[in-house]
Amino acid sequence: MSENGLDGRRDVLCGLESGAPDGKIEIALNAEHIRNLSKVGTRRVADLGGTIVFEGELSSNFLIIIDGVAVLAKTLRDGRRQIVGLKFAPGIITPPTATRPMHISAATKLEICLIPSSVMDELVRESHELAIEVIKSIGDDLEQSREWLLAIGRKSAVERLASFLMIIARWQYGGLQDGSRLSLPVSRTDLSDFLALTIETTSRTLSRLRRMRVIEVENVQTIVVLDATRLERLSAGPDN
């Protein structure tokens, strides 16, 4: 285990296969691209809480998430921390730079593939399909940031939590329905950071949704949706 919490080893395909099974990235790569990746791609596993990239650290690798959830966070000079994004598998994280530093860690056990930027740049130029995947990933990140800026800036605690549960439902099931069992990929502390709430307020908000019979808290990491329609309405904010 390295100092940053990652186990590393070389892997022939690094989890990148055309038509890969569940939990693998599905990117259209030809045989030559796969051979190139097999030479330079490093497959690594991070335990829950393990740091992948420290804030301020420059990385020359694209991070391709094969399985699990990554936390993207930024820290102020006085130590206050804000989670600014969650990245789910399958997904691509572009390398942090000096002008946009980012702390990246594992919200769950995380399996990633590190691809040097120089190799990825070359593959993107050669593969129209891969270029679309990268652009789509960046677009998804931008859209999530906009949505979450709205949530933190204008939504109540209940609406923020409902919005977060909708994000988890889309990741796990592609949508939401009554009876959905949502496995929260973050701790209560990280959840509070992401919602920009105190831990106490987050706990009270969970209890309020439970009293409203919108959800049932099965355990610390599992929530059962009792009323999907109402949860979706809460996530959208109050009616005019």
Q: What is the pLDDT of residues 134-175, one digit of tens each?
A: 787 788 778 877 877 777 778 899 999 999 998 888 888 878
The most confident of the ranges 70-74, 108-112, 159-163 is: 159-163
Answer whether residue 26 shows pLDDT above 70: no
Taking only Cα atoms into account, the Rg of the chain, rounded to an integer number of angstroms, comes to 19
pLDDT at 30: 56
Report the number of secondary-structure helices (H) and strands (E) in the chain.
Answer: 7, 12
Strand partners, 116: 61
Tokens encoding 147:
């949505």
Please state whether the predicted TM-score (pTM) of the whole model is above 0.75.
Answer: no
Give the burial class of 108: count Cβ atoms within 10 A of its Cβ; 0-12 exposed, 13-18 middle, 19 or more buried: buried
C-beta atoms surrounding 226 within 10 Å: 17
The rounded distance, in Å, linking the Cα atoms of 37 and 175 is 33
User: Dihedral sign, CA of 144, 150, 152, 153?
Assistant: positive
38 falls in which pLDDT band (50, 70, 90)? Answer: low
CB-CB contact of 61 with 95 (8 Å): yes
Q: What is the pLDDT of residues 183-194, one digit of tens each?
A: 888 888 888 888
- Residue 91 backbone zone (phi > 0: left; psi -120 to 50: alpha; other: beta): beta
Strand partners, 62: 115
Q: What angle in degrees, to the nearest 10, is found between the helix axes of 157-173 and 228-236?
A: 120
pLDDT at 9: 37
Which of 47-51, 170-174, 197-201 is the least confident region?
Answer: 170-174
Domains detected in the chain: 6-129 (2.60.120.10), 155-236 (1.10.10.10)
**Where are the strands (E) in the chain, listed by range?**
6-10, 42-46, 51-53, 61-67, 69-75, 81-88, 91-93, 103-106, 110-116, 181-183, 215-219, 222-225
Task: Kindly report each contact of residues 130-134 with a partner whose C-beta sits within 8 Å and lies 24 or more positions away, as own/partner.
Answer: 130/27, 130/28, 130/29, 130/33, 133/27, 133/92, 134/92, 134/94
Q: Reduced to 3 states, what is the DSSP secondary structure of residue 87?
A: strand
Q: Reduced to 3 states, what is the DSSP secondary structure of residue 192?
A: helix
Tokens encoding 46:
């991070």
- Average pLDDT over all residues of the chain: 79
